[in-house]
Amino acid sequence: MPSPHPSPLFPDLGFGLGLRREHYQHVVEQRPGPAAVGWFEVISENFMMPGGNPRRVLERVRRDHPVVLHGVSLSIGSTEPLDGRYLDDLAALARDVEPAWVSDHLCWGTAHGTNAHDLLPLPYTETTLAHVAERVQAVQERLGRRILLENPSSYLSFQASELGEAEFLAELARRADCGILLDVNNVFVSAHNQGLDARAYLAAIPPERVGQIHLAGHSADGELLIDTHDAAVCDEVWALFAHAVRRFGVRSTMIEWDAHVPPFEALIAELDRARQVAARAVAEAGRDAA
Amino acid sequence: MPPDALARLQSDLFAAITGLAVGDAARAVDHVVGDARASAERRLQVYATMYRLRVIEALESQFPRVAHVLGPDAFGAAALAFVADVPSRHPSLRELGRGFAAWLAREGRDARLPPLARLEWARADVFDLADQPALVVDALRVLPPDRFAELPLRLIDAHRFVDVDAATLDLWRRARDNAGDETSDPPSDPIEASGGALVWRQDVSVHHRGLSALERAALDAVAAGTTFGAICERLAGGRDDEAAATQAFTWLSSWVLDGLLTA
């Protein structure tokens, strides 16, 4: 499905899935074709080792499909120095895999040499913006490629923040010349948790910077929504996705399902729904433009 | 926001979320916006809860038998106490449990647990090690008999020797069976482990078994690189050559079938 507003920065890979351990055997043996799964996203850290089954699976998958590397440990917003060994390992993995792109999250997770293994939120200030932009440029120079940063799901905001998250992300992408991995479920979750307007969030994101879209499920924990990635995409997130497609055009889109992972066929069904929602949104946008 | 204020904010938040004394945890709530939907304390609690659950889940995946022996509450408490004492310093969660067996030994709560944890860590460790081409039976079949003595023997990299006893291997097996885990392995009774245990990966499966002291000594030599003839000579010391050769061939066959030797 060609996009009426293609991103000049990133190729349109179509509709893909996050590759999870539960499905390694199925994907390697059944080799789903591009009509079912256009590409796979893998968690970089799960493959940053010398060998073994994960690397073997990745090599087999890569022979059949484009792959993107999605990390969780870059800690781009930390005040700790960038982890040189981690960047070396990531660069080596990227050389081996030749991914369509490399991504991580707008967050931090390290302090005083220790790692919380979480995607912790940042205060959105000019100071933070300058700090993160400099680090993104350093990472891109080290990797020799433009990276994408994903908007996080957030459960808090900071007294010190001067900007909204969307404005921060947009300006960061411009200053650092990086891309945006737009997680529509995270926009929905964060907007709910912080009383924001999700559509206003999308309006602040520059279309040309969006290279990829994530779709996922979430859960409720009392008054807050938690980005659990353990359920189907809900109707409200599908509606927000349709709005995103009308605004940005079609982008490489994938289903992210990390916990209580269902059979592979269930993920394909979710992906097919994404195709349908996107096609309908494109048709509606075309009618509105006419 | 002054440049050093971001570092202070992150230290305080990190302390509040992880319980580690890297910042002023009590001050963290002052950084956070609370509102009608949720207070600042509640919002911080979400991250703290996720941190604890993630740590417990990661360690449980690496030490399922220890978790089974301890039970969920005691294992959860041990996991959190462990990361409080030995905070994670590696970007990958895969490395989280590297010091867990040693920590259990220092804690001294249950003497069964440290060797069980060592065994489980070795199993997790070999899973990601580099693949190598294995020495296969067909290669041996075409080898002339007079060339066997020169046959080089070398262990695959994806192996670990673990100093555990038969009781630990039995505990692992009973914990696996009680958990209804279909993980393959090991052995039928009785368990020989006077030489500890060998853990290795063959294709996508991880295995372990107990070793006699004699086989352990032979495998130590193979790990350093040796020949089949040298193994026979080692065995023949004080025994007749035919018995030594028979034992060596028996070992060689099982090592090849297990994918333990590299081509």
Give B214-229 pLDDT, tens digit per residue.
Answer: 999 999 999 999 999 9
Higher-confidence position of B185 and A106: A106
Nearest to B89 among A56, A79, A113 (CB): A113
Give A64-85 pLDDT, tens digit per residue.
Answer: 999 999 999 999 999 999 999 9
| DSSP structure string for A149-203 | EEPPP-S--BTT--S-HHHHHHHHHHHHT-EEEEEHHHHHHHHHHHT--HHHHHH
Helices (H), chain A: 24-30, 53-64, 84-97, 126-143, 165-176, 184-194, 198-203, 235-248, 264-289
CA distance A211 to A178: 10
Contacts of A269 (CB under 8 A, 6+ apart): none
B187 has a pLDDT exceeding 60: no
The residue of chain B with its CA nearest to that of A45 is: B92
Of A257, A275, A255, A254, nearest to A219 by C-alpha is A257
What predicted TM-score, i.e. pTM, was given to this entire model? 0.91
Amino acid at A110: T
Mean pLDDT of A27-45: 95
Whether chain B has a CB inside 8 Å of the CB on A228: the answer is no
CA distance A267 to A19: 11
Nearest to B129 among A52, A126, A222 (CB): A52
Where are the extended beta strands (E) located within chain B?
A: 152-153, 159-162, 197-202, 205-210, 226-227
Contacts of B200 (CB under 8 A, 6+ apart): B126, B156, B158, B159, B160, B206, B207, B208, B258, B259, B260
Whether chain A has a CB inside 8 Å of the CB on B53: the answer is no
What was the pLDDT predicted at B74?
97
In a 13 Å sphere around the CA of B91, the CA atoms on its Cβ side amount to 25
A119 Ramachandran zone, left/alpha/beta (phi>0; psi -120 to 50)? beta
Nearest to A111 among B10, B35, B58 (CB): B10
Token representation of residue A202: 């999308």
B145 has a pLDDT exceeding 90: no
Helices (H) and strands (E) in chain B, counts: 12, 5
Contacts of A24 (CB under 8 A, 6+ apart): A53, A54, A57
ipTM of the complex: 0.94
Give A180's pLDDT tier (boundaries 50, 70, 90): very high
Residues across chain A: 290
- Which residues of chain B make contact with A158, given a CB cutoff of 8 A? 9, 31-33
The alpha carbon of residue A29 is apart from the nearest alpha carbon of chain B, in Å, by 14
